[in-house]
Amino acid sequence: MNRITRRVATIGIIAALGVGGTMGGVMAQDQTLRIAMGSPGEAGIRVWDDVKAQYEAAHPGWTVEMNYMDDDLYQTIGLQNLLAGRNAPDIYFEWTGSRLAQRYADGYAADLTAAVTTGPIAGLFDDTVFPAATIDGKVVMLPHTADVTNVLWYNKQILADNGITPPTTWAELLAACDTLNAAGIIPIASGNKDLWAAGNWLAHMASRVVGEDVYASTLGGAGKFATPEWEQAFGYIAELTTHHCVNDSANAIDDNSGAQLFFQGKAAMHAIGSWLVSWAIDEAPTLDFDYVNLPAMPDGAGNQDSVIGVETGYIVNAKSDKIDAAVDYLALLNSDANVQQFIVAEITPIAKSASAGAAVDSRAQRLLDLLAGAPAVVLPPDTGYDLKMADALYAAEAAVLGGQMSPADALAGIDAALGR
Amino acid sequence: MKPARGITPWLFLAPGLVVFGFAVLLPMVLTIGYSFTDWNGFGAMTFVGLDNYARAASDAVFRGSFVHVVLYIAATLVLEVGVGLGLAGLVSMRPGRLWFRVAIFTPVMLPLVVVAVLWAFVYNPDFGLINGALAAVGLQGLQRIWLGDTATALLAVSFVSGWVFAGFYMMIFYAAFRQVPSEVVEAARLDGAGEWALFRRVKVPMIRGATGIAVLLCVTGGFQGFDLFFVLTNGGPYGATEIPTTLLVKTVFRNGEVGYGSAMAVVLTAVVVSLGLVYARLTAGGRSSVGRSR
Amino acid sequence: MSRLLVSVALGLLALVYFLPLIWMVLSSFKTNQAIFAAPFELPTSIDLSKWAEAWHVGNLGRYAINSTIVTSASVFLILVTGAAAAFAFSRYRFRGRSLALGLFALGLLLPLQSYFIAQSNLFTQMAITDTLMALIIPYTALGLPLAVYLLKVYLDALPDELFEAARIDGAGDARVFRELALPLLRPGLATVAIFSALACWNEFLLALLYIQDDDLKTIPTGLLAFSSRYVTDYSLLFSALSIVTIPMIVIYVVFNRHIVEGITAGSVK
């Protein structure tokens, strides 16, 4: 016992000294670029780590600190805490829409207009990509890629084996569910424990039914959810449940486990965003799969070819004292060679050279084209609108999907939660 | 004990008081202050009086979270304290089973997050240990989506809690049993008492003090449970495992409602502290207690 | 006969208890496909390369170092400040004594939730979040009440004559504390050290809120970050879980007597 105490005390003293030492060290040097984002997946991490190495090689004395955070955490408390903290990131990932506007309003988004017109980044991008990243006439974010946050992925082999063609209408989708269930295969895998995975998908479906305008105004805070058109939309979620379209475990497992059901061939389809392609590189390299956009909804008021998606990119922290270095870094990130690396990782950047180079006929590129050519773009509830509203909407969708609530009760529940 | 000699005792006290005051007492007072405001953590702070408390009283989710945590505590009283007592009884019958105590106590050593990540896999409906084991012995009918079914989720979390802490309470009871005078046990044996009667009528009544402490630890610790819930269900499915702490973290750190969250925190604190005081009063001058890591 | 029965029952119980941990280690040697297809089959080979990969890519070494620094610094501070405070309470009668003692007693009961909201705000404003101090300070404060209380119980049990004798020999207050009280307190200090070390090593909520920088994370939050970064590689995740778990079991088996005594004394006293 005595020995333990003494040893603990000794370690404590050494550690206390060590902590003091490293803290002093960090204070003194300031040649560290800090970059924060949600996890881009293993293939993406390899590219980011390589860009970091390139930068450090080209700028002796500088180090780049990458912070890959859990997506959900990053989106909620993670980034908020980072920005307020002592080692605030110099460059950080963000979604366009209300989130970008908030960062700008809080003074965390540096003006990049000069950098993209005459500075190091000039000429790397087509001017058409900047409007979504522009506030008050200033470019405040460098777009990097765009995510289609939901399409319907399908396993080619399983559908062919069961004589199913990729569903393009609601009736076809329900029929496919019945056929697949009869064959003992999960029709659509979903990992909705954190509520956004199916939530995003079902919100897109609802937007097709209620129409983009009603969708935007209701989510934006005007009016109640408990209306006939929303009830009709939620009625379709209930139909998914009746036809047993989604795995029973949907609301119990997280999005990774949901993807795993699809990768392991236990499920025929998977409703999730464009990042699935990148994940599959490591997890299911041999799986032959493709996607269709969400099937057309009967009697929908919305555009039945709408796409749900959002442009994302990197903001330079206006409070950073290394803005020039950060801009250099972003230029390097979008160099032709690095853009090609991202394409190999199935993350297709928006930079000009992505489409200018060797023709890339990847699914990721087709998804980008789908978004670019969409007749109507629907913003995801959790990045385009208020997060509390999105939580309430997602929880209601999950309750209907899990057969826990009727559409009417679930919608009334959203209004109650939001005090509408 | 020496009478006051000016500043000397305060010099000894100062370092501890400073740390404790800065990290605990000051924030506690501030939290009470926040609870009367409407504040998002960085913007303007408006005084709203008792509004947050009124809102908490009428918030069905908040009230539900107390129901859930009470159910959880009730389950853990059986699965942690009850099972721990039983195990201690078994072990004290057959002393020297060191390896057994090692096995049962090991989970107490592990970070609860590690335990929770592991058990998320054990409960995984598609390849987890439990559903797999049921299939292996031909009991597919008993398979469940353990963490996704409102009927089983809370119990499933309580079970993990039992797996971890039953060993902890076993050790407390084991230590208490060892202090039961052997003459008493021998006398009962001579009177013809079997092992079970010995356990129930002699040993258990003699360790009432330890039992009281175990119950207090389990109850006050239960109110502070967070790690297991956060990783395993984070309040789901459909809010069935939402407890005050997970709700608090969501309210403050996800929705940015610092004022309202603080009011919730004050209510929770009042409940825990009064339970502790009731216990202290019951055992009149009895020894106080500690929390365990949850 | 009944003895044998008890032994068998204990053996079975122990096995069931360990099953999840055994399954965890076995799964770390299997591929995703094998985990899905046959969760119970034994791995075809024991290949430690996944463990090495988990250690290497998962930053586990960094997390372990951080946990060690935070735990040992906190425990050291708890012991020093706790022993000094307990000495004051035990050896002196002074104005404000019962108030100060009452504050620490309150600390025994206060849940973390009663102060962590404002604490996080305070730390953010003082810019100590994302440093290890953001954990060391609250962990020390968290462990103090128990330390003060326990050590006071130990000191109270020491005979007054001992201290009187020292004083007659001309020892000052500081010297009495350092050369008499501290050595006599050793068993108590060891108990407090073990109890506090375990609590610091495993703490999760504050670490989740105060540390976002991956290089400063401790084992609990680091492991959670790991599990969401390498999202779908289960054998890698099982390897990381095993790497974190097995040393704890070894430490426990080696020191089990002290640990059990420390923890039970800490909760019963």
Structure-model confidence comparison of residues B262 and C127, the more confident one: B262
Which residues 374-393 of A have a C-beta within 8 angstroms of B?
A: 387-388, 391
- Among chain C residues, the shortest Cα distance to A3 is held by C190
What tokens appear for A31 in the block?
A: 């040649």
Residue B1: pLDDT band (50, 70, 90) is: low
Whether pLDDT at A349 is above 60: yes
Q: Is the CB of residue B246 less than 8 Å from the CB of residue B61?
A: no
Q: Characterize A125-159 residue by residue with b for buried, 16 or more Cβ atoms within 10 angstroms of its Cβ, and e for exposed.
A: beeebbebbebeeebbbbbbbbbbbbbbbbbeebb
Q: Which residues on chain A are in Cβ contact (under 8 Å) with C32? A: 260, 263-264, 283
> What average pLDDT does range A245-270 have in this prediction?
91
B125 to A248: CB separation less than 8 angstroms, yes or no: yes
Whether pLDDT at C232 is above 80: no
- Among chain B residues, the shortest Cα distance to C113 is held by B265
Whether pLDDT at B43 is above 80: no
DSSP β-ladder status, A63-69 and A91-95: unpaired
Least confident of A395-399, A407-411, C40-44: C40-44
Using a CB–CB cut-off of 8 Å, the residues of B that contact A are 42, 61, 124-126, 145-150, 153, 233-234, 236-239, 253-255
What DSSP string describes A216-254? Answer: HHHHTT-S-S-SHHHHHHHHHHHHHHHTT-B-TTTTTS-
Q: Could you give the CA distance from residue B108 to residue B115 in angstroms, rounded to a whole number?
A: 10
Q: Say yes or no: A250 contacts chain B, CB-CB below 8 A.
A: yes
Q: Which residue has the tokens 């990768």?
A: A263
Residues 6+ apart with CB under 8 A from A245: A173, A174, A177, A187, A188
Q: Say yes or no: A16 contacts chain B, CB-CB below 8 A.
A: no
Q: Say yes or no: A113 contacts chain B, CB-CB below 8 A.
A: no
Whether pLDDT at A345 is above 50: yes
DSSP β-ladder status, A32-38 and A138-139: unpaired
What DSSP string describes C94-142? Answer: -TTHHHHHHHHHHHHH--GGGTHHHHHHHHHHTT-TTSTHHHHHHHHHH
Q: What is the rounded average pLDDT for all residues in chain A?
A: 86
Least confident of A17-26, A110-119, B77-86, C168-177: A17-26
Integer angstrom CA distances of residue B232 from A165, A198, A255, A300, B62: 37, 19, 14, 38, 20
Tell me how close the Cα of C19 comes to any Cα of chain A, in angstroms.
Answer: 22
Q: Which residue has the tokens 């609530």?
A: A405
Q: Is the CB of residue C104 less than 8 Å from the CB of residue C145?
A: yes
pLDDT single digits (tens) B160-202: 999 999 998 998 898 888 888 888 888 888 888 888 888 888 8
Q: Which residues on chain A are in Cβ contact (under 8 Å) with B253? A: 76-77
Q: Say yes or no: A197 contacts chain B, CB-CB below 8 A.
A: no
From C127, C186, C212, residue closest to A78, measured CB to CB? C212
Q: Say yes or no: B17 contacts chain C, CB-CB below 8 A.
A: yes
- Picking from B233, B238, B259, the residue whose alpha carbon sits closest to that of residue B248 is B259
B238 to A251: CB separation less than 8 angstroms, yes or no: yes
Q: Which residues on chain B are in Cβ contact (under 8 Å) with A402? A: 148, 237-238
Residue A52: pLDDT band (50, 70, 90) is: very high
pLDDT value at residue B289:
41
Substitution target from B121, B143, B198, B267 for chain C, most C beta carbons within 10 A: B121
What DSSP string describes A55-116? Answer: HHHHSTT-EEEEEEE-HHHIIIIIHHHHHHSTT--SEEEEETTHHHHHHHHTT-----HHHH
Whether pLDDT at B286 is above 50: no
Q: Which residues on chain B are in Cβ contact (under 8 Å) with A244? A: none
Whether pLDDT at A18 is above 80: no
Which residues 250-269 of B have a C-beta within 8 angstroms of C?
A: 252-253, 258, 261-262, 265-266, 268-269
Tell me how close the Cα of B204 comes to any Cα of chain A, in angstroms.
Answer: 31
B102 to C253: CB separation less than 8 angstroms, yes or no: yes
pLDDT value at residue A23:
41
C17 to B103: CB separation less than 8 angstroms, yes or no: yes
B238 to A387: CB separation less than 8 angstroms, yes or no: no
From B136, B210, B272, residue closest to C40, measured CB to CB? B136
Q: Say yes or no: A73 contacts chain B, CB-CB below 8 A.
A: no
Integer angstrom CA distances of residue A410 from A43, A226, A237, A252, A402: 39, 9, 11, 19, 12
Which chains share 3+ C-beta pairs under 8 angstroms with C? A, B
Q: Is the CB of residue B290 less than 8 Å from the CB of residue C82?
A: no
Q: Could you give the CA distance from residue A138 to residue C243 in angstroms, rounded to a whole number?
A: 49
What is Dmax (Cα atoms) for chain B?
77
What tokens appear for B199 in the block?
A: 């356990």
Q: Say yes or no: A57 contacts chain C, CB-CB below 8 A.
A: no
Which residues 57-96 of B have a C-beta within 8 angstroms of C?
A: 87, 90-91, 93-94
Residue A12: pLDDT band (50, 70, 90) is: very low
Beta bridge partners of A64: A33
B103 to C266: CB separation less than 8 angstroms, yes or no: no
Whether pLDDT at A5 is above 50: no
Whether pLDDT at A7 is above 50: no
What DSSP string describes C14-62? Answer: HHHHHHHHHHHHHHTTS-HHHHHH-TTSPPSS--THHHHHHHHHTTHHH
Tell me how close the Cα of C73 comes to any Cα of chain A, in angstroms.
Answer: 4
B145 to A248: CB separation less than 8 angstroms, yes or no: yes
What tokens appear for C74 in the block?
A: 């906190």
Integer angstrom CA distances of residue A7 from C21, C75, C132, C219: 30, 11, 21, 22
Q: Which residues on chain A are in Cβ contact (under 8 Å) with B125? A: 248-249, 252-253
Q: Characterize A235-265 residue by residue with b for buried, 16 or more Cβ atoms within 10 angstroms of its Cβ, and e for exposed.
A: ebbbebeebbbbbbbbbbbbbbbbbbbbbbb
Tell me how close the Cα of A210 comes to any Cα of chain C, in angstroms.
Answer: 35
Tell me how close the Cα of B117 comes to any Cα of chain C, in angstroms.
Answer: 8
Tell me how close the Cα of C88 comes to any Cα of chain B, in angstroms.
Answer: 5
Whether pLDDT at B108 is above 90: no
Q: Could you give the CA distance from residue A74 to residue B253 in angstroms, rounded to a whole number?
A: 12
B147 to A252: CB separation less than 8 angstroms, yes or no: yes
Residue A8: pLDDT band (50, 70, 90) is: very low
From A12, A45, A282, residue closest to C73, measured CB to CB? A12
Tell me how close the Cα of C229 comes to any Cα of chain A, in angstroms.
Answer: 6
pLDDT value at residue A14:
42
Integer angstrom CA distances of residue A87 from A23, B254, C44, C214: 12, 21, 46, 11
Q: Could you give the CA distance from residue A143 to residue A315 in angstroms, rounded to a whole number?
A: 9
Whether pLDDT at A19 is above 60: no
Substitution target from C89, C91, C116, C117 for chain B, most B beta carbons within 10 A: C117
- Among chain B residues, the shortest Cα distance to A264 is held by B126
* Amino acid making up residue A180: L
> What average pLDDT does range A229-255 have in this prediction?
93
Residue A27: pLDDT band (50, 70, 90) is: very low
Tell me how close the Cα of C105 comes to any Cα of chain A, in angstroms.
Answer: 25
Integer angstrom CA distances of residue A336 from A96, A123, C242: 24, 12, 42
Q: Could you give the CA distance from residue C58 to residue C221 in angstroms, rounded to a whole number?
A: 12
Helix B26-34 / helix C116-125 crossing angle, nearest 10 deg: 100
B238 to A404: CB separation less than 8 angstroms, yes or no: yes
Strand, coil or helix: B241: coil
Eight-class DSSP state of B24 = I
pLDDT value at residue A15:
43
Eight-class DSSP state of A349 = B
Query: Can you give the pTM of this predicted structure?
Result: 0.83
Least confident of A21-25, A397-401, C206-210, C235-239: A21-25
Could you count the other beta carbons within 10 Å of the beta carbon of residue B181? Answer: 9
> What average pLDDT does range B108-133 have in this prediction?
88
Q: Could you give the CA distance from residue C88 to residue C95 in angstroms, rounded to a whole number?
A: 12
Q: Which residues on chain A are in Cβ contact (under 8 Å) with C234? A: 260
Residue C255: pLDDT band (50, 70, 90) is: confident
Q: What is the rounded average pLDDT for all residues in chain B?
A: 87
- Picking from A118, A89, A99, A145, the residue whose alpha carbon sits closest to that of residue A345 is A145
pLDDT value at residue A185:
95
